[in-house]
Chain A
Amino acid sequence: MPLPADELLQGTLDLLILRTLSREPMHGWAVSHRIQEISKDALRVNQGSLYPALHRLEEEGLIEAEWGVSELGRRAKFYEITAAGRRQLARESATWRKFAEAVQLVMQFA
């Protein structure tokens, strides 16, 4: 049963997007596809959340957008993580790890 990514904890979608873009610039569809693929279909990003999130991150300067040519030979908007975005990603990843470990501990021993 795939889990809609927008039902995850707030901020998690931003984290996933930043992490995905941290490897290489890609367009919106690729971001959602990659998340779905890597999570083995466990996470599915709804377009209704993806694009608002992308534009918000762009506005916050965590990612940058540029129009380029896609694999289809069509104009597409590519997103690239910025230095500020990388810093943010590092911070958020650490927080996330701590959180995940904590939840894990509680689930095991509580």
Chain B
Amino acid sequence: MRILRKAMHRVRTLVRPRRVARELDEELSFHLEMQTRWHETQGLDRATAHALATREFGGSIRFREAVLDTRGVTWAQDLTRDIRFALRSYRRAPAFTAIAVLTLALGIGTTTAAFSIIEAVLIRPLPYEQPDRIVTLTGRDSAGRDIASVSVPTFDDWRDQSRSFSAIALYATARRAVIAAGEAAHVETANVSGDYFRVLGVQPALGRTLMADDVARGEPVVVVSHGFWTRALGSPRTLPDTPLRIGAEAYRIVGVLPPGLEYPAGVDLFVPDPFAAPWRTASRNNINFNVIARLADGVTIDQARSEMRAIAARVHAAHPDDLYGVGASVTTLQRRMVGPVESYLRLLAGAVIAVLLVACANLANANLARGAVRGRELAIRTALGAGRWRLVRQLLVEGVALSVSGGVAGVLLAWVLVRLVARTSAVELPRAGEISVNGTVLVFALALSIGVGLIVGLAPVLQVGRSALAATIAAGGRSTGSRRRAASRDVLIATELALAIVLLVGAGLLIRSFHAVISRDLGFTPDRAVAAELSLPPTRYSGRHASDFYAELFSTLRAVPGVTAVGATNSLPLGSGAMGFVAVEGQADVGAGAGYRVVSDDYFRAMGIPLLRGRFFGPGDDSGTTRVTLVNRAMAERFWPGQDPIGKRFKAKSMEWKDTPWLTVIGVVGNVRHWGLEQDAPVEHYVLYRQRPEFALNMAVVVRGGNAAAVMAAVRERLRAIDRDVPADLGTLTARVDRSLAERRFVMSVLIAFGALALVLAAIGVYGVLSFSVAQRTREIAVRMALGAHRRGVLALVVGHVLRVSVVSAAVGLLVARSLSGLMSALLFDVSPADPRTYVVVVAVLIGVALIAAYAPARRAAAVDPMLTLRSE
């Protein structure tokens, strides 16, 4: 009952505010009248009585507000009034408002964009059935490192012995030549065991997924990704009758996966595979296979872990020569997918938070300055009886109104940024296709905006809280800006500068790392060379046919004007490569690892890989003659230190299934950083493709010299003439090198962008605060000048102020940067997180920028005309 009455009371006040106010006025004037009458009855004349009554009454306006406040001229009404007031006051300062909204849009927009990425990649569950039950199983080597892939025999043991999983599956990915709708192309495919889709729990968009039966029957069927369905097949309504040719075989399409499913990333085709011989009987060190599994009901991941630990220990005890199955790890699929980019996302989150804080500090500062100017307004309103809470609310509403406007602009910015990142990100983000500004993100942006608004609005509130308002009025409204107030502004800009330092140090360390990486020796010359990755259909190119194909292609390409050399390799640098084991004649170490690459005669000349000793392959080396090999310098130093390796012999054990013939070393070539610029060159040897025709089906042809476009056109034309069914991926080697650096470059650019943004915002902050302080101190400066201070002295005053603030912030920023830089050491290359050069340069840049920002206000201070200023007072 009481609550209802109270509500009615408030509703009335809210609905009929004018009437309530009028009634109150009437009630008060009645009181005044009664009081006057009473004084009259005490013998005073009417005028005196009235005057006395009025005096006793006190400031009538004052308690009118107080009464309206008690009556709860409710929140809603106040709010609309406050918002209207806020908007009006912002309209009156359009420049301030524009800059403030822009600053907020940048801060909130970048934070929101980062959140949409993090939400899609890290937080949102995978689009599978009970995704948290899906795990990956990986091996471990004797050093305790996780090894992502396992061998088929190891998988068999794990599957047969484990009880923790309701389904467990094996898969291997490969790029294969596919002919769809008459077009030959390379497509990422996965061979999967029967339970693969049972582990994931995927419902197909069309047809069916693969089942254990498919593996058992050995029928060539394929399930395609939604992307492939749309891109390559033109998304027909029903499953097409025409089969898909993958490699040599025709596969019937039996199903299409739903959109947005991308595991393993980028794979478009799934074919069943029994993983029979030779894999099943191969060495346990042949680890090209990945394992996923679904936890059985009621089994926790920790239970699965301990079971797998025991199994791996048992299996390894039975097969001690197994290098990569020393242990086993169980990780959720989501963690495994996100793992590689988590450090980037963490860096991103840190960077946007820093930028957001700088933006907040900037606005808080601007609001402080405005607050000081508005001191008089606030003081008068207080005197008129506006409760302190009322003013606080007003200021908070102003802050929120501003930040929500900035938030709206920020969401638009985030929308653009998210699109941009999804399209251009060189960091391969898992589930990049799912990144969007969705409902969750919008709620986040709104909450963020309101939070920021409260923080920004709070700055002047703290001032109202403590400022002696009466003093402000007494001083004629010329608020002089108390010392404390100025100090809090300095603290804010020092914070901004310190945050900018932290970001710039991060960016600087990444720049230094980038330079360290690109100044490394690749081991080959990427300029003026084109590569074409080919796949020959195995049915037509067995044995000599492949050699003939390449011989014909090489001779046509050599005829292109400007071409100086043409060669081929089974795997180009900065990509993958096969690892193997060698047994050197006369040396005991039989398990020594060494990579191998299959190349053509002229490959080294085409790549610009230098010959250090001996000779290259030549026409005399052929399928019938002695097996020859070239080793790289690392291999020569590893196995024959201080000796001449020419003529030495070794066996490459895992290269062939059957007999392993002796390979005779005929030459030594320079090291190539095959695995990437950041890696050391592996121990490797090269064999001739004519002596290894089984490796010659998938080769990359490298053409040195000539015009890149002309060479590519010639390759295409030649392929069309020889065989239409051979897909080719063409590109320059320079582009390939760039691509290998793209991820590092992208991360660096993002951090540079954020660092620059923070620096610009901080510079605006410095400028704003100094301009304000100069304007506030004009009188003081004029007095100083009138008393004989020089302009230079005044300049020194302002510059000294900036220097003091920036030196303090530099000290703090450096400490913070130093303590945080260790976190990004995984992203650094050849640069210490404490690299002194970076820190010195950043501090120099920062102080320089602060001084530039201070230039205009300092000039203004020095230009103060003491006579004019003092007279105008």
Chain A residues packing against B (C-beta within 8 Å): 27-30, 33, 46-48, 51-53, 55-56, 58-61, 67, 70, 72, 74-77, 84
Is B678 positioned at the interface, with any CB of A under 8 Å from its CB?
Answer: no
Residue picked from B31, B38, B70, most chain A C-beta under 10 Å: B31
Task: Pick the 4 closest A-B CB pairs, nearest first.
Answer: A29-B34, A48-B63, A52-B70, A61-B2
Which residue of B has the minimal Cβ distance to A52? B70
Is B331 positioned at the interface, with any CB of A under 8 Å from its CB?
Answer: no
Proximity string of chain B (30-42) to chain A, C-beta cutoff 8 Å, 1 when within and 0 when not: 1101110110000
Given contacts A47-B58, A61-B5, contact A55 B67 (CB under 8 A): yes
- In the bound complex, residues from chain A placing their C-beta under 8 Å from that of B38 are 33
Which residue of B has the minimal Cβ distance to A31? B31
Is B649 positioned at the interface, with any CB of A under 8 Å from its CB?
Answer: no
Q: Tell me, in angstroms, the Cα distance from A75 to B23 when the chains sit together.
A: 10
Establish whether residues A76 and B30, one from each chain, have CB atoms under 8 Å apart when the complex forms. Answer: yes
Given contacts A52-B66, A52-B67, A55-B67, contact A47 B31 (CB under 8 A): yes
- In the bound complex, residues from chain B placing their C-beta under 8 Å from that of A53 are 70
Residue picked from B27, B35, B38, B58, most chain A C-beta under 10 Å: B27
Q: Tell me, in angstroms, the Cα distance from A84 to B1 when the chains sit together.
A: 11
Q: Tell me, in angstroms, the Cα distance from A70 to B27 when the chains sit together.
A: 11
Establish whether residues B70 and A75, one from each chain, have CB atoms under 8 Å apart when the complex forms. Answer: no
How many residues does chain B have at the interface if contact means C-beta atoms less than 8 Å apart?
A: 29
- In the bound complex, residues from chain B placing their C-beta under 8 Å from that of A70 are 30, 34
How many Å from the CB of A30 to the closest CB on chain B?
8
How many Å from the CB of A56 to the closest CB on chain B?
5
Establish whether residues A77 and B23, one from each chain, have CB atoms under 8 Å apart when the complex forms. Answer: yes
Establish whether residues A61 and B63, one from each chain, have CB atoms under 8 Å apart when the complex forms. Answer: no
Is B6 positioned at the interface, with any CB of A under 8 Å from its CB?
Answer: yes
How many Å from the CB of A108 to the closest CB on chain B?
37
Establish whether residues B31 and A59, one from each chain, have CB atoms under 8 Å apart when the complex forms. Answer: no
Partner of B30, one of A27, A46, A55, A60: A27
- In the bound complex, residues from chain B placing their C-beta under 8 Å from that of A60 are 2, 6
Establish whether residues A59 and B9, one from each chain, have CB atoms under 8 Å apart when the complex forms. Answer: yes
- In the bound complex, residues from chain A placing their C-beta under 8 Å from that of B66 are 48, 51-52
Establish whether residues A74 and B57, one from each chain, have CB atoms under 8 Å apart when the complex forms. Answer: no
Is B252 positioned at the interface, with any CB of A under 8 Å from its CB?
Answer: no
Establish whether residues A61 and B6, one from each chain, have CB atoms under 8 Å apart when the complex forms. Answer: yes
Establish whether residues A59 and B58, one from each chain, have CB atoms under 8 Å apart when the complex forms. Answer: no
Establish whether residues A29 and B31, one from each chain, have CB atoms under 8 Å apart when the complex forms. Answer: yes
Proximity string of chain B (761-793) to chain A, C-beta cutoff 8 Å, 1 when within and 0 when not: 000000000000000000000000000000000
Establish whether residues B30 and A74, one from each chain, have CB atoms under 8 Å apart when the complex forms. Answer: yes
Is B803 positioned at the interface, with any CB of A under 8 Å from its CB?
Answer: no
Given contacts A47-B57, A51-B63, A52-B63, contact A72 B33 (CB under 8 A): yes
Which residue of B has the minimal Cβ distance to A44? B56
Q: Tell me, in angstroms, the Cα distance from A89 to B870 when the chains sit together.
A: 64
Q: Tell me, in angstroms, the Cα distance from A109 to B61 when the chains sit together.
A: 47
Proximity string of chain B (51-63) to chain A, C-beta cutoff 8 Å, 1 when within and 0 when not: 0000011100011
Which residue of B has the minimal Cβ distance to A77? B27
Is B28 positioned at the interface, with any CB of A under 8 Å from its CB?
Answer: yes
Establish whether residues A28 and B31, one from each chain, have CB atoms under 8 Å apart when the complex forms. Answer: yes
With contacts defined as CB atoms under 8 Å apart, how many contacts are there between chain A and chain B in the complex?
72
Establish whether residues B63 and A47, one from each chain, have CB atoms under 8 Å apart when the complex forms. Answer: yes
Given contacts A48-B58, A48-B62, A60-B6, contact A55 B70 (CB under 8 A): yes
Which residue of A has the minimal Cβ distance to B23? A77
Q: Tell me, in angstroms, the Cα distance from A28 to B66 when the chains sit together.
A: 16
Q: Tell me, in angstroms, the Cα distance from A61 to B10 when the chains sit together.
A: 12
- In the bound complex, residues from chain A placing their C-beta under 8 Å from that of B58 are 46-48
Known A48-B62, A51-B28; further 4 A-B contacts with Cβ < 8 A? A27-B30, A27-B31, A47-B58, A51-B31
Establish whether residues B72 and A76, one from each chain, have CB atoms under 8 Å apart when the complex forms. Answer: no
Is B314 positioned at the interface, with any CB of A under 8 Å from its CB?
Answer: no
How many Å from the CB of A53 to the closest CB on chain B?
8
Is B71 positioned at the interface, with any CB of A under 8 Å from its CB?
Answer: yes
A–B complex contacts, Cβ < 8 Å, 28 sampled:
A27-B30, A27-B34, A29-B30, A29-B31, A29-B34, A30-B34, A46-B58, A47-B57, A47-B58, A48-B62, A48-B63, A48-B66, A51-B28, A52-B63, A52-B66, A52-B69, A55-B71, A58-B9, A59-B10, A60-B6, A61-B2, A70-B30, A70-B34, A72-B37, A74-B30, A74-B33, A75-B30, A77-B27
Which residue of A has the minimal Cβ distance to B13? A59
Establish whether residues A75 and B26, one from each chain, have CB atoms under 8 Å apart when the complex forms. Answer: yes
Q: Tell me, in angstroms, the Cα distance from A59 to B2 when the chains sit together.
A: 9
- In the bound complex, residues from chain A placing their C-beta under 8 Å from that of B27 are 27-28, 51, 76-77
Which residue of A has the minimal Cβ distance to B20? A55
- In the bound complex, residues from chain A placing their C-beta under 8 Å from that of B35 are 29
Q: Tell me, in angstroms, the Cα distance from A47 to B147 when the chains sit together.
A: 83
- In the bound complex, residues from chain A placing their C-beta under 8 Å from that of B28 are 47, 51
Q: Tell me, in angstroms, the Cα distance from A60 to B1 when the chains sit together.
A: 10
Partner of B2, one of A48, A77, A84: A84
Establish whether residues B2 and A51, one from each chain, have CB atoms under 8 Å apart when the complex forms. Answer: no
How many Å from the CB of A43 to the closest CB on chain B?
15
- In the bound complex, residues from chain B placing their C-beta under 8 Å from that of A51 are 24, 27-28, 31, 63, 66-67
- In the bound complex, residues from chain A placing their C-beta under 8 Å from that of B70 are 52-53, 55-56, 59
Residue picked from A46, A55, A77, A84, most chain B C-beta under 10 Å: A55
User: For window 593-616 of chain B, which residues contact chain A by CB distance below 8 Å?
Assistant: none
How many Å from the CB of B51 to the closest CB on chain A?
16
Establish whether residues B71 and A59, one from each chain, have CB atoms under 8 Å apart when the complex forms. Answer: yes
- In the bound complex, residues from chain B placing their C-beta under 8 Å from that of A74 are 30, 33
- In the bound complex, residues from chain A placing their C-beta under 8 Å from that of B67 are 51-52, 55
Which residue of A has the minimal Cβ distance to B62? A48
How many Å from the CB of B12 to the closest CB on chain A?
10
Residue picked from A51, A56, A76, most chain B C-beta under 10 Å: A51
Which residue of A has the minimal Cβ distance to B71? A55
- In the bound complex, residues from chain A placing their C-beta under 8 Å from that of B34 are 27, 29-30, 33, 70, 72
Residue picked from B28, B58, B70, most chain A C-beta under 10 Å: B70
Given contacts A47-B31, A48-B63, A51-B63, contact A59 B6 (CB under 8 A): yes
- In the bound complex, residues from chain A placing their C-beta under 8 Å from that of B10 are 59
- In the bound complex, residues from chain A placing their C-beta under 8 Å from that of B30 are 27-29, 70, 74-77
Proximity string of chain B (294-307) to chain A, C-beta cutoff 8 Å, 1 when within and 0 when not: 00000000000000
- In the bound complex, residues from chain B placing their C-beta under 8 Å from that of A29 are 30-31, 34-35
How many Å from the CB of A33 to the closest CB on chain B?
7
Q: Tell me, in angstroms, the Cα distance from A33 to B30 when the chains sit together.
A: 14
- In the bound complex, residues from chain B placing their C-beta under 8 Å from that of A56 are 70
How many Å from the CB of A21 to the closest CB on chain B?
15
- In the bound complex, residues from chain B placing their C-beta under 8 Å from that of A52 are 63, 66-67, 69-70
Q: Tell me, in angstroms, the Cα distance from A66 to B848 when the chains sit together.
A: 72
Q: Tell me, in angstroms, the Cα distance from A11 to B10 when the chains sit together.
A: 22
- In the bound complex, residues from chain B placing their C-beta under 8 Å from that of A72 are 33-34, 37
Which residue of A has the minimal Cβ distance to B27? A77
How many Å from the CB of B486 to the closest CB on chain A?
37
Q: Tell me, in angstroms, the Cα distance from A70 to B518 when the chains sit together.
A: 95
How many Å from the CB of B751 to the closest CB on chain A?
57
Q: Tell me, in angstroms, the Cα distance from A56 to B71 when the chains sit together.
A: 7
- In the bound complex, residues from chain B placing their C-beta under 8 Å from that of A47 are 28, 31, 56-58, 63
Q: Tell me, in angstroms, the Cα distance from A60 to B33 when the chains sit together.
A: 28
Q: Tell me, in angstroms, the Cα distance from A75 to B33 when the chains sit together.
A: 12
How many Å from the CB of B372 to the closest CB on chain A?
30
Q: Tell me, in angstroms, the Cα distance from A54 to B70 when the chains sit together.
A: 10
How many Å from the CB of B50 to the closest CB on chain A?
15
- In the bound complex, residues from chain A placing their C-beta under 8 Å from that of B5 are 61
Q: Tell me, in angstroms, the Cα distance from A59 to B8 when the chains sit together.
A: 9
How many Å from the CB of A69 to the closest CB on chain B?
11
How many Å from the CB of A82 to the closest CB on chain B?
9
